[in-house]
A and B are shown apart, each in its own frame.
Chain A
């Protein structure tokens, strides 16, 4: 299967701990996106990469959040000093620009629970 994969699928952590999530995009896709989705809401954009360059960050991405895509392939999203409000589903997506359209391919998500 060559879809977008995310690891772990579920993470339970205590408040104040650091967590790191990984996303492996579809191999030929140069764009990678992170979204956050809370219960009953649609996904909200966090940040995106074109190759290894981080091109945009949402205001939602506080200083405790950092994302990297060091070799333009997989990406990591780290949350430092987690808070209960960080509990959400973290979704990764990838795409390749084709004729100006931006269909995105989503991974299964990482569900974070902060206790």
Chain B
């Protein structure tokens, strides 16, 4: 079963705009990760944020984590057409860190 849900399910923006995706999860975690998946392909790891961190940056990506609300957000700044993909958050389970539980994903379309 999925750990939680992502919002929105789909997002369409123009190149240069920012894209924000939200993820909610259900159980306590050690860390939360974001992955990108291009159509019909495998997943690529983007960024990991630990449960004791509140914000993390990597290039054009900014991730926040609010463990009190069991939610995270991924911000992609200055989007490009190449950012078109599905984005998934994934969590471990606090007392079982050996598997990832994925959300339902946000499908991002960036128009040139």
* B residues neighboring A (CB under 8 Å): 1-2, 30-31, 33, 35, 40-45, 48, 50, 88, 90, 92, 97-105
Query: Smallest CB-CB separation from B50: which chain A residue?
Result: A101
Q: List 15 A-B contacts (CB under 8 A).
A: A33-B99, A35-B102, A40-B105, A41-B104, A42-B2, A42-B88, A44-B102, A50-B98, A56-B98, A102-B92, A103-B33, A106-B44, A109-B40, A109-B41, A111-B40
Tell me the minimal C-beta distance from B109 to chain A in angstroms: 15
Contacts of B44 in A (CB 8 A): 106
Max chain A C-beta neighbours (<10 A), residue from B1, B31, B42, B92: B42
Contact of A48 with B98 in the complex, beta carbons under 8 Å: yes
Task: Give 8 nearest A-B pairs by CB, closest first.
Answer: A42-B102, A106-B42, A106-B43, A108-B42, A45-B99, A42-B88, A43-B102, A42-B105
A45 and B101 in contact (CB under 8 A), knowing A102-B92, A103-B33?
Answer: yes
Contacts of A93 in B (CB 8 A): 43
Contact of A41 with B30 in the complex, beta carbons under 8 Å: no
Please classify the interface of chain B as helix (H, G, I), strand (E, B), loop, or mixed, using the class held by over half of its residues. Answer: strand
A residues contacting the other copy or chain, number (CB 8 A): 28
Contacts of B103 in A (CB 8 A): 42
Tell me the minimal C-beta distance from B59 to chain A in angstroms: 17
Query: Smallest CB-CB separation from A111: which chain B residue?
Result: B40
Contact of A101 with B2 in the complex, beta carbons under 8 Å: no
Contact of A103 with B45 in the complex, beta carbons under 8 Å: yes
Tell me the minimal C-beta distance from A114 to chain B in angstroms: 17
Question: Which of A103, A109, A111 is the one whose CB lies under 8 Å from B48?
Answer: A103
